[in-house]
Structure 1
């Protein structure tokens, strides 16, 4: 199989010269590591980071992938897999799974069984404790404050005997936020790899016991889960029903949030009760990013309440038309149970049936975490981190270091302590700070470079692909298979014009395509269309009542798009690679989610 460009062969886009200065030196390719980097196979992670990274946003990518690697390699000793290496290439995130040495696998397997076994045997208690830890960490981060340095310290600072002041606190609080972000991602992977491991164990058993069984059939056996990731959408539906039941729906015809709230308050107790109920839902459930949760530029529902208000209005309209806005949970559970019973009947011994039921039972116990973490970490916790960084950015902007609070995301994480010390020194002396004459020019140049990087279309992979992709998580989460690699190298479409991808959620639907590239285009989606996007985010769930099916460029069987579509009963094909390039809005297409095929019906 022909290869992709080597990392050392990638050229800089025009206007992006010097782009490496936007990121940590260790995160970009380097001549000293060229032999190693060119020998590896790297894929662009469009599931989590589809766009060029802002400098500070790269921090969360770096701690996330490092925490993943830490648990694989140092905590759990996952038998076949060490960590995942990463590089930023022209602003985009590329990952490379690192296999464990083959000779080490037997010894690692023994230790993995002991370590993972402890979690599997005590899963519910440990997971309950995890929920306490993650909520405590969110509360701790919310308590971090960034305040303008006072002209004079208050008298109580002197009389308390604290012996320290606001300048030191400002620096310490930023480091506290960084440490919290690292802790957050270690918590994230405490359970996630185990959740996948249990599913992979069940997956492997099924592949051996039932030759020819599809990946989709196995995935459907653990469908029908109730997870907190769906809670934001359920809260929208609840608020829509409340508006209908209490007869206040005409307030939502006004269009803007302020006017709607004013009309609701004018309706007395019923309107005020609805507003109070919305506020109760908002914390924490509307700490929900319109994207994957990894970009400081994506909108957060709780900070842009017009987003949930628009979704609620759509649900109100659906209810008034007599539509059922519930997820088809009963039908999905019934289909799940039917598939399980049919496959159990094929097993020839009580021993096999016992093994099947045990592995399926464990997969169902641990599987909810595979999605729940997404709300608690990528959405809720990251929302808090973005808000705190903007608070700090506002201080820099007030002092002339930055033109705007949001410019702080064009600084690297390790540059901010230097800028804070500059500010601290100028406040303490007092003296003229260097920052106002130093940072604006750098930020302007970085914005220009980032714009050029954003216009570059990243190649889906780098380096020579393996003959066969065997690493299970790479296959199921990212959708990287031997077939998908061949598809990338072939340009996407088959001879008959169809696109192939992962059979992610069953069913066949035909309809007009709606191609969108980000959450700011969600309002363009019309009833009866088929959504085509680079990826979908969990916060897009409210439009699933409109669409007939979903097609994505990225993602595998266990990507969030695939799982959410299965739980909402929508056919989906993920990991097509080129859907958004080859399909245009209005084209009629057929989506076969059972076989992973998308057919363009128009000439």
Structure 2
């Protein structure tokens, strides 16, 4: 149990880095800690959600946490009435996102069960039909965003508009398109959580049942019973592997000696069998290259479809591995065999009645669990990729009108502030006077850039305020890996130097040299056989898993993306260590035990 004398600093006592004065002005008033609410807010335990938002927010980008967590919460509390979990309170402090799950009064949990069973039960009973409809809705949102375009205002309203009596002008369409784009982004996040919380709920129900009927069963053994899944999130990586194999079959491997993707594609186009490969390349691009090297939550994320050098780098690595006779496919058969072995052994220990319940809960978990990863491709990757592309189109147009100097400058404004810019632009067009923005906005952009850059110089605090004596809220444990032990570790409860404890997320014992990765842009530094150590991985980092031998993260539970992907790729993983990425340095030799959830530094770096 956590020492009562130990607690985390209050956000009200946690100062911002030098140079970031005035940072609260960058974000909506309800997303920052307010002095008038100090007493109430200090009663809550907040932890940093660096799993989803590891970087400081630019003002526009903060919209993603605003939409995402609000929608997550409504499905818990207002749609399905999940018995043990309400919504998640959230704040931005010093540019980072902090979460505070809102628990349900234990006395009210039982009373919520019948309502949950009716509402969630309908989805579980009609899962495939409702999911088919979900795909149609998400694709419609993507198509609607693709149809939006932002063009400069014309010198005159089109004459045909006069003859047709339209009675509107292009500024109305411009502003309406912007509002529609923001609304479609919000709609996207509504759909994101329509099935996700139920996917977690079904797994947690199965998990809780296993803990009850199999005393002492490891969390990892429960997770293994749903492994070996075939999900769309892995398709981009699988498509690259297929292209690599095709390149070997068609004798095109010499072209992959080229460092530049365009040079390689030109080389392939001149080859005898190049046409067949290029056709496969184009087919793979749509939709599977609508995939980001980040996680889709930031305007700075790079998407494969716009940065072909990213998938080409992975593809080049796969071709080289195949030439060396190495295996590049996921160990799906072995995972399925292990899944079936464990399931059979545990089921055999149950009587007939309990086995029937076990098989029912497991069957449901396996049906719904793929969505836990699949939604990532369709929402964070594909839909958000289109959204960010359209916002860049708008920013470029306004840049050309002189409102700012760089395409990325627009993101230093909150979303509602962009409406003011559009009205400024439309007003000057209508009145016939220069826009005000070009004269004043760049100075404000430069001021905000300095604030954001200053905030990024300080890592986030792991948590704020008094920790709970015991962490019991299931989503907090399974998704974020926030356990009683983790909180104790953050408070310095584990004083043993060089030893870290986290979640036993994916089995296996390896020793190797660490590579600290703080951002997706650093992934090309990974060397064959290294151990990836990071604050958090993104699902899209899967292609680098053919290089590494294990993964260690600061945050994340058994159902975090890092844990799931590592299990599917057969890699040892320890998640939720709290501070591995700061305790461990690149080049240190470490031991990772994914079965026990431990990380040990074996060799310190020798100072030169």
TM-score bucket (shorter structure): over 0.9
2-structure distance, mates of 1:588, 1:494: 20
User: Does the alignment pair 1:36 with 2:37?
Assistant: no
Alignment equivalent of 1:128, drawn from 129, 132, 139: 132
Residue in 1 aligned with 2:147? Answer: 143
Which deviates further from its counterpart, 511-520 or 168-177?
A: 511-520
2-structure distance, mates of 1:373, 1:203: 22
Corresponding residue pairs, total: 600
2-structure distance, mates of 1:496, 1:57: 38
2-structure distance, mates of 1:457, 1:254: 38
Structure 2 counterparts to residues 236-251 of structure 1, below 5 A: 236-251=240-255
Structure 2 counterparts to residues 343-362 of structure 1, below 5 A: 343-347=346-350, 349-362=351-364
User: Does the alignment pair 1:327 with 2:330?
Assistant: yes
User: Does the alignment pair 1:411 with 2:419?
Assistant: no
2-structure distance, mates of 1:318, 1:335: 26
Structure 2 counterparts to residues 177-576 of structure 1, below 5 A: 177-268=181-272, 270-347=273-350, 349-490=351-492, 494-495=495-496, 497-576=498-577
Please list every run of 5 or more consecutive structure 1 residues that lacks an aligned counterpart in the other structure.
none
Residue in 2 aligned with 1:594? Answer: 595
1:496 shift after superposition: 5.3
1:100 shift after superposition: 2.1
1-structure distance, mates of 2:539, 2:68: 19
1-structure distance, mates of 2:40, 2:474: 23
Residue in 1 aligned with 2:88? Answer: 84
Q: Secondary structure at the match of 1:302?
A: coil
1:102 shift after superposition: 3.4
1:438 shift after superposition: 2.2
2-structure distance, mates of 1:164, 1:249: 57
2-structure distance, mates of 1:586, 1:173: 50
Q: Deviations over 1:313-364 (max 9, x none)?
A: 11011111111111000000000001001111111x2110000000000000
Q: Secondary structure at the match of 2:47?
A: strand
Which deviates further from its counterpart, 105-114 or 386-395?
A: 105-114
Q: Deviations over 1:248-283 (max 9, x none)?
A: 121121211221122122125x21332232122112
Q: Deviations over 1:481-527 (max 9, x none)?
A: 00000011117x65252110000000101111111111111111111
Q: Deviations over 1:173-195 (max 9, x none)?
A: 11001111111111111101100
2-structure distance, mates of 1:582, 1:99: 32
1-structure distance, mates of 2:220, 2:395: 46
Residue in 1 aligned with 2:103? Answer: 99
1:106 shift after superposition: 2.8
Q: Secondary structure at the match of 2:86?
A: strand
1:410 shift after superposition: 0.6
Q: Secondary structure at the match of 2:416?
A: coil
2-structure distance, mates of 1:157, 1:328: 61
1:4 shift after superposition: 0.3
2-structure distance, mates of 1:291, 1:378: 9
Q: Deviations over 1:536-587 (max 9, x none)?
A: 1122111111111111111111000000000000000011111111111111
Which deviates further from its counterpart, 103-112 or 7-16?
A: 103-112
1:528 shift after superposition: 1.1
1-structure distance, mates of 2:347, 2:261: 53
1-structure distance, mates of 2:263, 2:498: 49
1-structure distance, mates of 2:262, 2:281: 14
2-structure distance, mates of 1:330, 1:494: 41
1-structure distance, mates of 2:38, 2:384: 34
2-structure distance, mates of 1:156, 1:255: 52
1-structure distance, mates of 2:71, 2:603: 46
Structure 1 runs of 4+ aligned residues shifted over 4 Å read none
2-structure distance, mates of 1:121, 1:207: 25
Q: Secondary structure at the match of 1:401?
A: coil
1-structure distance, mates of 2:182, 2:522: 33
Which deviates further from its counterpart, 187-196 or 244-253?
A: 244-253
2-structure distance, mates of 1:12, 1:590: 36
1:103 shift after superposition: 3.8
1-structure distance, mates of 2:32, 2:339: 45
User: Does the alignment pair 1:4 with 2:5?
Assistant: no
1-structure distance, mates of 2:379, 2:157: 36
Please list every run of 5 or more consecutive structure 2 residues that lacks an aligned counterpart in the other structure.
none
1:153 shift after superposition: 2.7
Q: Deviations over 1:138-160 (max 9, x none)?
A: 11111111111111233333334
TM-score normalised by length of structure 2: 0.97
2-structure distance, mates of 1:566, 1:357: 22
